[in-house]
A and B are shown apart, each in its own frame.
Chain A
Amino acid sequence: MGRKILLDHDNIPGIQSLNVYREKGGYRALEKVLKTMTPEQIVEEVKTSGLRGRGGAGFPTGMKWSFLAKPEGVPRYLVCNADESEPGTFKDRYLMERIPHLLIEGMVASAFALGARTSYIYIRGEYFYIAQILEKALEEAYEAGLLGKNIFNSGFDHDCYVQVGAGAYICGEETALLESLEGKRGNPRIKPPFPAVAGLYGCPTVVNNVETIAAVVPIINMGGAAYAAIGIGRSTGTKLISASGHINKPGVYEIELGLPVEEFIFSDEYCGGIRNGKKMKAVVAGGSSVPVLPTDLILKTAAGEPRLMSYESLADGGFATGTMLGSGGFIVMDEDTSIVKNLWTFSRFYHHESCGQCSPCREGTGWMEKILHNFIVGHAKMKDIDLLWDIQKNIEGKTICPLGDAAAWPVASAIRHFRKEFEEYVNNPGSIRDVKHYYRINNLAEA
């Protein structure tokens, strides 16, 4: 049984309320921080813990915090990125829904470390009911004096606000999020300047994922060194994984980083194997934007070593044979899944969510979607496979924000590992189930 440090109380009835949360040891970390620690000590502790951003990029959190510019007389902000929109990722939702006070405690403790008097939780529009849960939790915390003026008599004032977005994927990109929070159109900014220098309202800002901020609480409780002892190598601590797809037990699991992928998929403690006794075909390991891997490569690296759930092991082999841990959206596909159709779905998503600011992503995502649609309806030609490859290559790395990469990687990996399937769609479209299905639906609609 893996250790649980974030979700250790998630199933306790009433844990959403402040009283139960405090009974279970809640807000002890905040008390410890405000009464006994200096901001520098907290940053140091987080650095020692080796905590890495849980939103997808995996940047060391302590390092990010120490980059924060601290000019005199300018306010600093902490922003929590709760705009969890990556298809296949739903860990933040679970965490905020079950234990809202864990996030709030983490917010206040982190804000103290950064010297931020104000913080914002930017939550996606679709999570409106969670915003209400958070609002209620904030209200409780204000009443108990855990937010507002002079928290724990330490002289530290802090205000935290929940801001609901309008449901755009792009607003999960930190600079687009800040634009949106400022009340503007959610277009990513061109970096530099980075938010650590000029972020929200032009002031130094740290933007962290929900899970990252929540992880600050156990780090303070147990100490950075003890947190760093969990996990493997530079992937320390635990990670929430949103497991979905053709598995017996989909859901959110907290794992110790370094767990073998095979164990995660097939053990009864976690995913419980592939449903209906089917064989596994492919896995998208970290949310829809990371490269898809076929069974043999997800279970073992190209060198033949067992693949582990960690930042390094999943990325082993680069994009040629590896993938990324990403946000932890673990999508398993069984042998009946069509990679092409699945890719079309992803592509449709990125086409719909592109902000339209820079040309490669604006034009390229739509183009890729149209070509993939041709595969689904049986109109594709063999040269379209190479064309898709060219388009994704021309998008990747040429855009302002990583949405372009996110749209390009799934296409690249699908062609790299499943080219045969694309050829199948071209060679005998009539025999492909998706093509038949597509026309059956269209014929029904016409009749």
Chain B
Amino acid sequence: MPKVTIDDITIDVPEGTTILQAARMIGGEVVPPAMCYYSKLKTSGGYCRTCIVKVEQGSAKDPRPIPKPVASCRTNVMDGMVVRNITSPEVLEARAGVVEFLLINHPLDCPICDQAGECDLQDLSYGHGDEFSRYEFKRREFEKIDIGSKVQLHMTRCILCYRCVKVADQLTDGRVHGVINRGDVSEISTYIENVIENDFSGNVIDVCPVGALTDKTFRFKSRVWYTKPVDAHRDCKHCCGEVRLWYKGDEVLRVTTRRDQFGEVKDTTTGKPGWICNECRFDKKETKDWIIEGLAHINPHSVISANHYESLKALKATVSRQLKAAPHGTKVTLGNGALDPNNQPGTQK
């Protein structure tokens, strides 16, 4: 089994593991943020560049460093590889640059965005970004498009992670949605307003890291942090039927997949990714439709839901300490039990 060292922590991982997966096995602050990588979707990742890390030593056999930062989500570990993520000011600086790029054309309309509170981009920009933007030009804008009767696409917020394209490709048949145009005007589109109408199309909402794809049955109903998550299941002939209901009072406001600690869809009891069908997601909004399992132990990983930025403070502090750190290459240890997987940002105790 290859042995890989990430931020001075060594771990044995199975053959074919990517650096990001290895870092997730360690957990804590050494996990690079990922906006486009989604472990349940094949060929995802590599686009957003937020997960870039520095490889100080390629492998035990060939100890040369990799000259450029690599996308940790798409780079397999080699035996004896030495990787630096949060202990390298160089990486953090580069990542801050990527965050700036992702935000220059983002509308920053969090106050009216349904994703706020569970948005990966919010977390990322809080943890790794700057408080102000140096961008002084008009931001990119698109018209809102309905894709299908239940999903709305607001391209203005999109960061082009391609996750929804992969969902459409890999979960549903007859893909009618993809990317058109190129460069900074490329957009996710159901070319000429084709609609996506198939049983699993709703999953594009769950994989979207920002508020570009939203549930039309939930839009503007409530801020997510005012809703109460409850795990429930039903016998569904299309999907696993294992879902999370979001209550406000006695009313089910929305139904989503269950998420794991990295914001990805959780595996079901049978070990398969728990994608859910549109019937469960959009049509079953009564408590009587479901068998309730109990309050969900969610990982309120987002800046807002996690009680006034508390959870990301530790990460933010580490990042700024690192960036201020003395000459490049200085080793800075991670204090405060930050590496304890139980003490991850946002884990509810």
Contact = CB atoms under 8 A, between A and B. Distances in A.
B153 interface: no
Nearest to B134: A387
A390 B69 CA distance: 17
Contact of A360 (B46, B98, B137, B182): B98
Contact of B179 (A190, A356, A359, A387): A356
A104 interface: no
A424 B134 CA distance: 22
Interface string A351-381: 1111111111011111100100000000000
A399 interface: yes
Given A359-B49, A362-B184, A370-B137, A394 B101 contact: yes
A356 B179 CA distance: 10
B102 interface: yes
A365 B105 CA distance: 13
A147 B156 CA distance: 52
A184 to B, nearest CB: 10
Interface centre among B52, B160, B182 (most CB of A within 10 A): B182
A397 interface: yes
A354 B182 contact: yes
A353 B183 CA distance: 7
Interface centre among A168, A354, A387, A394 (most CB of B within 10 A): A394
B71 interface: yes
B49 A399 contact: yes
Interface string A65-76: 000000000000
Contacts of A356: 160, 179, 181-186
A400 interface: yes
A275 interface: no
A420 interface: no
Contacts of B94: 394, 398
A393 interface: yes
A387 to B, nearest CB: 6
B31 interface: no
B97 to A, nearest CB: 3
Interface residues on B, range: 20 to 34
Interface string B68-110: 1101001000000000000000000010011011101100000
Interface residues on A, range: 20 to 34
Interface in B113-145: 134-135, 137
Given A190-B74, A359-B159, A351 B183 contact: yes
Interface centre among A185, A190, A355, A397 (most CB of B within 10 A): A190
Interface string B154-198: 000001101000000000000000110111111000000000000
A136 B179 CA distance: 36
Contact of B46 (A190, A362, A365): A190
B47 interface: yes
B48 interface: yes
The A contact surface, by secondary structure, is helix
Contacts of A398: 49, 52, 68-69, 94, 97-98
A353 B181 CA distance: 11
The B contact surface, by secondary structure, is loop
B107 to A, nearest CB: 14
B49 A360 contact: yes
Nearest to B102: A359
Contact of B47 (A354, A357, A370, A394): A357
Interface in A377-417: 387, 390, 393-394, 397-400
A359 B95 CA distance: 11
A363 B159 CA distance: 10
B288 to A, nearest CB: 45
B183 A366 contact: yes
A390 B47 CA distance: 21
A393 B48 CA distance: 17
Contact of B97 (A353, A370, A393): A393
Given A190-B46, A363-B105, A387-B134, A394 B183 contact: no
A167 to B, nearest CB: 12
B184 A351 contact: yes
Contacts of A394: 94, 97-98, 100-101
Nearest to A381: B136
Nearest to A354: B183
A390 B135 CA distance: 12
Interface centre among A351, A358, A359 (most CB of B within 10 A): A359
A19 B71 CA distance: 53
A377 to B, nearest CB: 13
Interface of B: 45-50, 52, 67-69, 71, 74, 94, 97-98, 100-102, 104-105, 134-135, 137, 159-160, 162, 178-179, 181-186
11 contacts: A352-B183, A356-B183, A357-B162, A358-B46, A363-B104, A367-B104, A367-B137, A390-B97, A390-B134, A397-B69, A398-B68
Interface of A: 168, 170, 185, 190, 351-360, 362-367, 370, 387, 390, 393-394, 397-400
